[in-house]
Structure 1
Amino acid sequence: MSKQRRGKYIKTIPGWRGTCPLCGRKRVKLVWTKKGEDGKTFNICKLCSIKN
C-alpha cells in the first residue's frame, strides 16, 4: 500500500512545500486541501487539517 503523504509521490506534486496560508508555518508540506468561502481550494499543512 502506498503512502500518499510522503516519499517520492509527494515530490511529484507542484508546490508541495511552502508557507501555510492559515497558520503561517514556513517550509512545511502543503498536501492537504481545504475549500475556502469563495469555493476555491488551497493547500494547508497537516496541523491545520487536523484542527479544522
Structure 2
Amino acid sequence: MAKTKRGRPLWNLPSRGRGTCPVCSATRIKLLYPRAKTDGTQHKVCKRCVNAPQVKVDTITG
C-alpha cells in the first residue's frame, strides 16, 4: 500500500522546503537541516552540507 503520510509536513513549508543551499549553492534542493554559525544564527542547509566543516558554515552571508 502507498504511504500517504510520507513528506506531508513539507507541504506546509514555503516552496515545499526547497531553495538554494547557502553552503554549497545547490539550487532547488531541500533545506531541512538546521546548522548554527559560531555567532549563534541558524541557517537551513541541504543533506550534503549538514556534516560540512564549521569553517564552511561560518562563510554563510546573511
TM-score range, shorter chain: 0.7 to 0.9
Matched residues, number: 47
Percent identical pairs in the alignment equals 36
The residue number in structure 2 matching 1:43 is 44
Question: Whose Rg is larger?
Answer: 2
Superposed, which structure 2 residues align to 1:3-18 within 5 Å? Answer: 7-14=7-14, 16-18=17-19
Moved over 2 A (4+): none
Q: TM-score, normalised by structure 1?
A: 0.74
RMSD: 1.8
Distance 1:49 1:11 in 2: 22
The SS at the match of 2:34 is strand
Structure 1: gaps of 5 or more residues: 1-5
